[in-house]
Chain A
């Protein structure tokens, strides 16, 4: 029954909603909806894609259907997995080298104003150079082996990690630093107990973004400068007129990116249990 209200008055009521009166049921329901969306949206897009083939909206001479990709004979060939493994190795080497250097330089520049003054504008200028444009330079520098490819991935990853590490170190609250200083902590102790752990959550945000970028550059460099690996496979599909091959390559690189960012995220959560989960867009 509704309250009768005089015209010059209005009643605002604060009432429990389902989320308040039965949070367990509400959370369960919400979780169900979220999982449903996370699975349902990609699944229905793939279904639509498959349907497009079925009704011949899409030309099957140039494109492959999801079913063809999943059932592709290519997937059962050992050769494919060795291509994938080649790519994974390149990516991991590049990612670790780049992350290590990025964290190192980010920390040094975050801690020391002098180093920052010396390198900041230089690195910022280099940061804006499209990394694929460096291929000729890297080939001249590192020869025709795997090294220029790995170096390219490393350089790209480096910049992402460097920037987020530096700003994370600089962003650590003064109060934390001062509390350590008041105990007479040395520079190393401040770094080890305050600055580094304080910056770690933000560093992992950088690492996660860099993980995705590493896959981007990996495929890019393999497209133009490799005879093996996923990128080369995609290109081979195009030149040999085998769309199936191209799409297997694309699907695998998407899965690689998904898996890799996810792993970096899990690592982050294990190493920074005190930080709230970050909100950078990602698969859930």
Chain B
């Protein structure tokens, strides 16, 4: 053996140490099997191999049951690896050989050390339309020069190879391929399927359903729906070191409802499974919990990683708070509120101190629509947040005004209506949680603030809460009519220090 790396040296030493724990006196007192005794007790498992060769595309497939002993190159009888399914449950139809290739990948299907080019074909290639069922995969095997092919149900939509696509789920040294199959609606869901070379055909490996592998969140039935909002577990799938993994978040998060959102933390703990092929079936094997880091761009399929000791779901970036700074008689240049690529100016006009309804006005000087005035509610002195408030899908002005009074802080959210910039924004109702800051007679206390991401957050607890008391924190989404609270979870929030943790 050539010079060993440090890892190889550690490995060699550990294996030797373990092996040398076995001494002759440990061996049980068993005589050598005799030919007769051996034959009675443990007969040699001879492979009875029914081969099914995929013929060239022009030829019909020929399946023939043949029994033989595997021979080494020198003619010696050599035991072969443990038997695996050798005949597909159903011989695939030989259709689609003339369809165009819509995806391709390289992998070692036959385990001879030379990768094959695997092609994915469907009837949509070169057309404008959706494909018909099924899709076809095929490859010329490097070991035999024969064409292996197979078909799978594609839900009548566009499938593609997963990335990365290559796994060895049965640890036999040859590869299988993972295919992403969207659901028929084509709205982001779907599932993964694994295609394996069996008896010369490429076949979809049947899957146990005891763990998730579909590309969909899983509804948490234990939590109630409310106005279209429900809770769901986040799922992920990834391939790492030749193994296909899937995961399901430990916690469920609010989703759906008023807009397309899913309150998944930036990092979240998940149960995870490694998918193995056992007895011709794809089965999930539980592995230790993983932590999933959401990708920066929100797309793709993040891989799980080992969680650090004590690591929990990430806490949203609630702090530091953004202050309201534009007071009565002041104005400020905003970012491009009306999306015409020219700056806009906003300000507040009115008397100082507490105001009656309509006494104070929000004044918008929009480059696209000219000046607009919005009467503000009665309350304390109004102050404007000089930022566009992020409440999901934005389609116009999105502003927040706060008015302090003796017993709390009143907040008004203003947004553009269906008429767009032709009409001034209006103060919108809120639903789902108290808004602003205050205390009710029953001791319920709440406080709303603007986070560093310009999103709105409201913590709801009791008047006696301290930094170690769990409170529910909501964020807010605009549904086109009203501002609606959406729960993020339970946290311990220290307002004074501007910190929060899960508790």
Please say whether chains A and B are actual partners in one complex: no
A residues with CB within 8 A of B: none
